[in-house]
Chains A and B, each alone.
Chain A
Amino acid sequence: MPNATIIALIPLLPLAGFVLLGLFGRKVFRNSSGILATVLLLASTVLALYTAYEYFFVYGKVDSIYQKFIPLQLTWLEFYKGLSIDMGIYIDPISVMMLVVVTFVSLMVHIYSLGYMKGEERFPVYYSFLGLFTFSMLGLVLASNIFQIYIFWELVGVSSFLLIGYYYDKPSAVAACKKAFIVTRFADLGFLIGILILSFCSGTLDFQTLIQRLTVPGSSEFNTAVSYSFMGVSAITWGAALVFVGGAGKSAMFPLHIWLPDAMEGPTPVSALIHAATMVVAGVFLVTRLFPVFAITTPNTLVIVGWVGAVSAIFAAIIACTQTDIKRVLAYSTMSQIGYMMFALGVSKYGGEAGLGFTASLFHLFTHAMFKALLFLAAGAVIHYVHSNEMKDMGGLRKQLPITHITFLIACLAIAGVPPFAGFFSKEEILLAAYQNNIAIYYIALITSGLTAFYMFRLYFNIFWSKPYESHGESHHGEGGFVMMLPLVLLAIGAAAAGFIPFGEYVSSDGTPLKSNFHLQFSIAPVVLGLTGIFTAMWLYRSQNDRPAKIAASLNGFYKAAYHKFYIDEVYVFITKKILFNLIGKPAAWFDRNVVDGAVNLTGATTQAISVGIKKIQSGKVQQYAIYFLAGVIVLAALFIYVWK
């Protein structure tokens, strides 16, 4: 059985770091904050690895199926008997795998930041935010209750907000963090309503019970969920689709992706941790958590998931080919790769061999975390050296940054799907799953993988080859010390070797081990396409020439549209500025000041006007009063005499 204390410590240690550094960082831990946070996270990582080992090799498997455990569950808020938000720990292959990924990448980023962020004024604050993020992300992956996921979902959102806005005096960073939070918040609204629907259908918020009740045809919950419909769509489909909207927002799926490229305003290690390896895959994680409901009860929603993923994948890949800010290229690449994971889920079914897409998706999540974190950290090393994000300021850096160069190359090969690097294996499985279930998505994926290879090597050649590096006169430090290189090397090992893990043995849709089936002839097409992409990039960017400009010119309109990210941002600006602010906000404020408040003031003014009229009666003329009095007496007398007798 899993040890609740040990697992609980994994998220609580980074939380302790957050609290300690948040409260006392400025005074007590001024210089030791980075070390403190890193040590805490190291402990957490060790515990996570230990848990993973114990789970996968000691107690996890019973009758050759990986079991689900809930070693800890505390009632956090009880709405009524039977419906409560619990804080729990849910141990299954997915969460254990995620534990390892999150703690490992976070540890790498913690170590890396010791060098990268050195000398920052708000160093302790940075580490406390990292701790908050790591805690929230771990809480999210361990969640046993759908509301618990939502809680931590919001917390990772806010940590992301805080870290993107770390350089708070830079207006672009402020705008970016705001945008990231608001766009994901908008998606979370869908998630929240989805939760409400699912909880109402199933009468519970607990994952296990919820899945159990909603996936067994014939149970009363299942029947209400399927039969109750709104606008011709069943309740469960609404619920699942809305939950997916939340996931799509966090995972930057089209059209909710606009925050991700801007989020690159944050410090680069943060981008590596949050916006590449962990938080942005939360959407994928969410769908996998509810996968039985998606796959069994409402397969239509899964089709949506698949298409959103596929469209995002190719859409982002096209944009990535045109961007010049290296972090933005990586951001779009992240979006594209998450699109891969999403459509892999979309083409998957529940259980057995048909669940290949599920396994492939999580496998890709795992390998992607390695190579994308590596790409970002390596890019960080480059930016650290060059003090610029723009490709044009780089070139020929392979001599100055040898370790960065090699590790970056490994990561590029991995993401391009060149065997035997990690990306090859996971992509292969995804393509196979797509091929078996949805041929249209398969072709999209194939084209995307060619594009991926192209833009990654465009990036690679532009940074490390192209032209000889010319120093801009700043005093140059070296490549970054040991603390910055160590994570690169460790992640490079991961990116090179992670593919050999027999992932299907451990993680599958229903817990039964899945043999990885490798088809040589099947992998020819993607590999050839990938290599074509690489050689095209080499031909265009290895040395300076005018071919890229010519091609861009020949594609004129399309290139421009892609360069401007297909004007999605402008659409959003139009919706928010013109519609939300000018058409709703302003009229509401005007209405309140003028109509509602006007009514109040009108009441006052009317009263005043009436009293101005009435006060004339009190004229100060004694004889007038006497006449009124007399008239009153006469009227009363008349009344008494003739009317009331």
Chain B
Amino acid sequence: MNLLLLLIVPLLTALAVLLSANGRQVKWLSFIGSLAQLALAFILLYTFEEERATGNTAQMLFEQRYPLFQSLNISLHFGVDGISVVMILLTAFVSIAGVLVSWNIEKMTKEFYFLLLLLGLGAYGFFISLDLFILFFFLEISVIPKYLLIGIWGTGRKEYSANKLALMLMGGSALILVGILGLYFVAGHSFDLTEIAKTTIPGNIQMIVFPLLFVGFGVFTALFPLHTWVPDGHSSAPTAGSMFLAGISMKLGGYGCLRVATYLLPEGAKEYANIIIALSAIAILYGAFATMMQKDLKYINAYSSVSHVGFSLLGIGMLTQTAITGALIQMVSHGLMTALFFAVIGMIYDRTHTRMVAEMGGLMKVMPFIATIFFIVGLCSLGLPGLSGFVAEMTVLVGSWQNNDVFHRVATIAAAMSIVVTAVYILRAIARTAMGPIKNAAFLQLKDAAWNEKLAAIILVAGILSIGIAPNWLNELLRPAAEIIMNRIAGK
């Protein structure tokens, strides 16, 4: 499959949206565009599996390379492995759901959808890029629309949140840029990921460059203690913005941590692994405990994201093949789950005009569909088997347990303890919003989900279930890629 299609389709959709006449046209164009993206993602998955089935074991498939600045050795180099394919699927799922839940945006509809599509474009580009310069370029593309989405369509302290988010992410980008330049000069003036992977980078350089890259990408994926843009950003962002932010953008960081930092700099990864583990174990528990005290649904999900994303960083830090696979599954799972969670919160907010847990109650009675989805996503978040969260967390935990020493064991047990705390806060949230008596008589008039919201929820639930019920397809897709990363770390 030609990977450029993944860039052309969103780009054309975005341009078409800019040229379209009215809001209705904008929505349908975006919907069709994101449907096309979803189709493309599935085609990619299919052709990828086909290609692998024929025995093509190259690390990257469908590679393409077009020189861009020859003097600096920058080229448009694209290619995918199992990880990218999965991430592209995730992006497509979240994109279409995001487009659907924004159906009722009245203010500057055209610009809103344009920015959403641009965000998606950035993510696709990021996931298929094999040239660090281009990768960085797409990473930046995905930051700016977020700033505007929050700043213009947000709620609450939106300017503050938008600034905070953009500045913190830009700070991360700066570190990444320095790290990438460091790699460029060490690895013989090349930005090419596959080229750099072939060179041996001296240990002392790795010690310097690894933290730059890991912390830089870590900011994107809410590495403790650089996570505070998450609660504010999410709580101010419009529904689709939150979905993209948590569902896709945070995954850019995780992907970068793994693909760029850990893969290219294995010695650095080994050196700093314990710090990563400690930070992520803290983030997991601390995020969970902080969530327990939140009163606003969006804050609840934002803090729980910090906790859940901790699992993927923990998996990366554990440096075993199973744990890394688990980390990747967690990224996908968390992406789908949290997007759905924000979608549901948005639906509830649209109706009740509040996000405060204390003001709700008994929503099961008035909006059974939304409440049911809320149940499902809550159960996924607390790691119920049959839903994706369980698979991811268990894979990470089993992988972590393979490290046979007290430090790793303690970190693993600490991470495992979060499943109890998660159960506490999720059930509290569910019990107070969906169950119990109805506190506000005005709620009795509320309507259940409309078709677009139902479709969005069903798409995401389908994703969650497909991982939760039969996880092995995902596992088999990710494991070979994780193995290549592990082989480099093990020095093979």
Contact = CB atoms under 8 A, between A and B. Distances in A.
B336 interface: no
Contact of B293 (A78, A80, A585): A585
The winner among B294, B424, B428 for most chain A CB atoms within 10 A is: B424
Contact of A77 (B168, B404, B428, B471): B471
A182 interface: yes
A171 B432 CA distance: 9
B419 A185 contact: yes
Nearest to B293: A589
B293 A154 contact: no
Contacts of B182: none
Interface in A143-176: 147, 150-152, 154-155, 158, 161, 165, 168-169, 171, 174-175
A152 B470 CA distance: 15
A83 B401 CA distance: 13
B391 A77 contact: yes
A505 B406 CA distance: 47
A439 interface: no
A193 B420 CA distance: 13
B399 A79 contact: yes
A171 B293 contact: no
A154 B416 CA distance: 15
Interface stretch (B22-30, B271-279, B434-442): B434-442
B420 A584 contact: no
Contacts of B391: 77
A189 interface: yes
A80 B321 contact: yes
A599 interface: yes
B293 A77 contact: no
A200 interface: yes
A171 B289 CA distance: 24
Interface stretch (B191-199, B254-262, B346-354, B379-387): B379-387
A182 B428 CA distance: 10
Contact of A76 (B431, B471, B479): B471
A192 interface: yes
Contact of A75 (B168, B365, B472): B472
Nearest to B299: A589
Contact of B290 (A77, A185, A192, A588): A588
Contacts of A604: 164, 167
Given A178-B427, A178-B428, A178-B431, A189 B416 contact: yes
B413 interface: yes
Contacts of B404: 200
B472 A200 contact: no
Given A79-B395, A80-B322, A192-B416, A168 B434 contact: yes
Contact of A596 (B167, B228, B321): B228
Nearest to B401: A196
Interface in A496-528: none
A174 B436 contact: yes
Nearest to A76: B472
Contacts of A581: 292-293
A596 B406 CA distance: 28
Interface in A74-88: 75-80, 83, 85
A171 B436 contact: yes
Contacts of B293: 581, 585-586, 588-589
Nearest to B434: A168
B423 A185 contact: yes
B206 to A, nearest CB: 27
A189 B420 contact: yes
Contacts of A570: none
B402 A200 contact: yes
Nearest to A162: B375
B289 A585 contact: yes
Contacts, number: 136
Contacts of B67: none
A142 B390 CA distance: 21
A597 interface: yes
A272 to B, nearest CB: 23
Interface residues of B, number: 61
Contact of A181 (B231, B385, B427, B470): B427
A154 B364 contact: no
Contacts of B228: 592, 596-597, 600
A154 B437 CA distance: 27
Contacts of B427: 161, 178, 181-182
Nearest to B371: A168
Contacts of A83: 398
A196 B379 contact: no
B417 interface: yes
A186 interface: yes
Contacts of A174: 431, 435-436
A592 B286 contact: yes
Contacts of A182: 420, 423-424, 427
A199 interface: yes
Given A75-B472, A83-B398, A192-B416, A589 B435 contact: no
Contacts of B437: 169, 171
B435 A151 contact: no
A150 B438 CA distance: 36
B397 A77 contact: no
Interface in B21-60: none
Contact of B436 (A150, A154, A168, A185): A168
Contact of A158 (B325, B384, B395): B384
Nearest to A171: B436
A476 B81 CA distance: 70
A600 B161 CA distance: 12
Interface string B391-431: 10011011101101010000011001101100110011001
A77 B362 CA distance: 38
B427 to A, nearest CB: 5
Contact of B397 (A155, A196, A230, A592): A196
15 contacts: A77-B394, A79-B325, A79-B398, A154-B385, A158-B379, A169-B362, A169-B365, A169-B437, A171-B436, A189-B416, A589-B293, A592-B228, A597-B228, A600-B168, A600-B228
Interface of B: 164, 167-168, 225, 227-229, 231-232, 286, 289-290, 292-294, 303, 321-322, 325, 362, 364-365, 379, 382-386, 390-391, 394-395, 397-399, 401-402, 404, 406, 412-413, 416-417, 419-420, 423-424, 427-428, 431, 434-438, 470-472, 475-476, 479
Given A177-B431, A585-B293, 11 more contacts: A78-B476, A152-B385, A154-B385, A155-B384, A155-B386, A168-B364, A178-B431, A586-B293, A592-B231, A592-B290, A597-B232
